Amino acid sequence: MAGTETHYELPLPSFDEPVKMLIVVAPYYKDIADEQIAGARAIAAEAGAEVELVEVPGALEIPSAIATAHRLSNFDAYVALGCVIRGETTHYDTVCNDSSRGLTLLGLQGCCIGNGILTVENREQAVVRAEAAGQNKGGGAAAAALHLLALQRRWGKPKGGFGFKPLGEDTLLAGDAEGPATA
């Protein structure tokens, strides 16, 4: 039974430079979200990280909020928190898969993200996983983000994302040898 297993947890990394962490939470189940936030804040404090918290309507909006913050702000690490409880329709599968996929794609582009979006069958499972004094999945997500940040700082700053690059002033158009396109 999973409840009786013990798991190894890496010691929290230490940082020479300040850490600015953004927690993005979908508080649909407010009591569960509050427990996750408490766990994430405690781990961030233990590592000396400064935390900012924003709320979004649901789990599907979490990756978009993190992508926007990563593009427009100066956060070092991100924690995604929320809870999706299986219902009577396939909406559960869509929310679980797409929120997870969005976070994974952002991680592959260099965002240091801890995924603490609970995907459970019922409320009881969510409560057990969310409790800061229990399984503390919010704290685990914060620790994951901090570990990824420690690796990023160890290996150097990201050199850019993967995929398409937006057309900008420093981009030449095909056949334009004189310089950037102007409107």
Residues 24/65, Cβ–Cβ less than 8 Å: yes
Q: What is each CA distance from 131 to 101, 117, 156, 165, in whole angstroms?
A: 25, 14, 35, 41
Determine which one of 7, 70, 91, 147 is catalytic.
91
Nearest to 35, CA basis, from 142, 138, 180, 119 = 138
Residue with tokens 């603490």: 116
Strands (E), the chain: 20-25, 50-55, 77-85, 113-120
CA 176, chain centre distance (Å):
40
- Catalytic residue flag (residue 70): no
* Strands 113-120 and 50-55, sheet pairing: unpaired
Residues 111/43, Cβ–Cβ less than 8 Å: no
Q: Is 17 helix (H, G, I), strand (E, B) or coil?
A: coil
Residues involved in catalysis: 91
